[in-house]
């Protein structure tokens, strides 16, 4: 990263920044300090949490593999030590991606790495560009730092507007700290095609870092998708984050990592907590090796997701096609109260993701959990889908009724 780029940006970006982008308005979240549902370390107030169908936080409902559990149990012999062999986790990650150790940064979940990016880059430039809605943890870190998010709305078909992001970066170039993309996107579950990632990197100034969150990478089957790790090998200003919280089922253990060129990671290192435990490092190494279990979880997830989506379509409701372990269904009304109604039926579902206030995010759970969800859904929502009363009245008027 060129630390002198701020001066060049100030000169080059002055006219573009003055133009502005009226509909790409900076977002200041007044409730940015509020903890959101399903965040790591959150205590669930439900007295019968173990008895709930847990479809709120995009977890792996089947838990870690036997090999991972064994590796973590064996590592407990180091629980009483400050200094211990870490099982070679950094080496294992680097080998897994064809990178060097210098290209790997560990974090307590990928969320910590995302926060480290904010803390490292925001002092130089005070704007972050991303789509809306997306995983809002990054955006909340930004607003907590008294900076701004330029949120580019999704397209009408819920795809991410890459040309819009390019325009936003160029217009605000002197002030842009980095670009954030979640691919596949959370909460919509769809991908950014590989040719659009390339379009973005080839058409924004080369000194603007692009943070690409690949938390749900392992569930994708769409051939138009590709990981962005090769751009790290090329030395591009790209940071890719991954997590063991999803397909590896270590959400409660907190392990993730970032991949980037050495000079980018050197800027992040001072902001790490160093709070990883011995046990999860050994679990991470075992998870990378257990490709058979990963393949099994992926297939079970896809099968249950598609079966549930088919049931929802059959009941008359629109669902956004998903490449992840969750999906969004349009329930036709604000999901805040909807989530409370599901909770009364012992089903935990996703929070609201403005501006998609009527779209409910549902994680894929076990087969009994998905059956419980569908039973609750059919009890709460009528067959035939959302009734468009305005359209119905217009058609009735046209028919002379």
Q: Do 235 and 373 share a domain, yes or no?
A: no
Residue 39 lies in a domain: no
Residues 6+ apart with CB under 8 A from 118: 128, 138, 141, 142, 145
Q: Do 162 and 192 share a domain, yes or no?
A: yes
Q: Do 346 and 286 share a domain, yes or no?
A: no
Cα 14 from Cα 95, distance rounded (Å)? 43
Q: Do 141 and 220 share a domain, yes or no?
A: yes
pLDDT digits 0-9 by tens, 279-325? 999 999 999 999 999 999 999 999 999 999 999 999 999 999 999 99
Which of 269, 290, 311 finishes a domain?
Answer: 290
Q: In this structure, what are the phi and psi dihedrals at residue 178, rounded to the nearest 5 degrees?
A: -165, 165
Peptide bond into 285 cis (omega under 30): no
Domain containing residue 122: CATH number: 3.40.640.10
Q: Do 208 and 339 share a domain, yes or no?
A: no
pLDDT digits 0-9 by tens, 45-93? 556 889 999 999 999 999 999 999 999 999 999 999 988 888 999 999 9
Pair 57, 36: CB distance under 8 Å: no
Q: Do 283 and 304 share a domain, yes or no?
A: no
Q: Do 155 and 269 share a domain, yes or no?
A: yes
Residue 344 lies in a domain: yes
Q: Do 157 and 184 share a domain, yes or no?
A: yes
**pLDDT class of 184 with cuts at 50, 70, 90:** very high
Closest CA to 349 of 36, 32, 34, 37: 37
Domain containing residue 356: CATH number: 3.90.1150.10
Which of 252, 267, 290 finishes a domain?
Answer: 290
Q: 38 to each of 45, 57, 377, how far by Cα in Å?
A: 12, 5, 21
Q: Do 102 and 129 share a domain, yes or no?
A: yes
Predicted pLDDT at 386: 87
Q: Do 116 and 194 share a domain, yes or no?
A: yes
pLDDT digits 0-9 by tens, 329-380? 999 999 999 999 999 999 999 999 999 999 999 999 999 999 999 999 999 9
Q: Do 328 and 275 share a domain, yes or no?
A: no
Which of 270, 290, 310 finishes a domain?
Answer: 290
Residue 401 lies in a domain: no
Q: Do 247 and 381 share a domain, yes or no?
A: no
Residue 323 is part of which domain span? 49-58+292-389
């Amino acid at each position: 990263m060129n630390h002198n780029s701020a001066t060049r940006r100030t000169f080059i970006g002055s006219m573009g920044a003055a133009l502005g982008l009226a509909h790409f308005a900076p977002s200041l979240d007044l409730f940015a300090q509020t903890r959101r549902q399903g965040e790591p370390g959150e205590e669930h107030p439900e007295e019968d949490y173990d008895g709930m169908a847990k479809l709120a936080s995009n977890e792996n409902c089947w838990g870690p593999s036997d090999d991972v559990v064994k590796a973590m149990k064996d590592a407990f012999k180091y629980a009483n030590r400050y200094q211990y062999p870490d099982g070679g986790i950094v080496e294992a990650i680097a080998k897994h991606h064809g990178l060097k150790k210098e290209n790997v940064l560990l974090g307590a979940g990928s969320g910590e790495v995302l926060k480290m990016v904010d803390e490292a880059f925001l002092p130089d430039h005070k704007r972050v560009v991303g789509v809306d809605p997306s995983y809002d943890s990054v955006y909340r870190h930004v607003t907590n730092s008294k900076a701004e998010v330029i949120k580019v709305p999704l397209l009408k078909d819920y795809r991410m507007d890459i040309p819009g992001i390019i325009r936003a970066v160029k217009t605000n170039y002197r002030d842009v700290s980095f670009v954030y993309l979640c691919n596949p996107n959370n909460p919509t579950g769809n991908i950014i095609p590989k040719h659009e990632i390339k379009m973005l990197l080839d058409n924004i100034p080369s000194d603007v870092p692009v943070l690409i969150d690949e938390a749900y990478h392992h569930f994708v089957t769409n051939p138009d998708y590709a990981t962005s790790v090769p751009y790290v090998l090329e030395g591009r200003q790209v940071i890719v984050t991954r997590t063991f919280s999803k397909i590896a089922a270590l959400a409660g253990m907190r392990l993730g990592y970032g991949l980037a060129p050495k000079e980018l990671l050197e800027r992040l290192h001072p902001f790490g907590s160093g709070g990883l435990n011995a046990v999860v490092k050994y679990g991470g190494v075992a998870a990378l090796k257990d490709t058979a279990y990963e393949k099994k979880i992926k297939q079970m997830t896809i099968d249950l997701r598609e079966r549930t989506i088919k049931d929802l379509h059959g009941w008359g409701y629109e669902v956004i096609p998903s490449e992840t372990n969750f999906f969004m269904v349009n329930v036709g009304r604000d999901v805040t109260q909807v989530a409370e109604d599901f909770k009364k039926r012992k089903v935990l579902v996703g929070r609201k993701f403005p501006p998609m206030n009527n779209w409910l995010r549902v994680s894929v759970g076990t087969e009994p959990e998905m059956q419980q969800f569908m039973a609750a859904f059919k009890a709460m929502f009528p067959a035939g889908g959302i009734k468009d009363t305005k359209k119905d009245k217009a058609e009735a008027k046209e028919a002379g009724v």
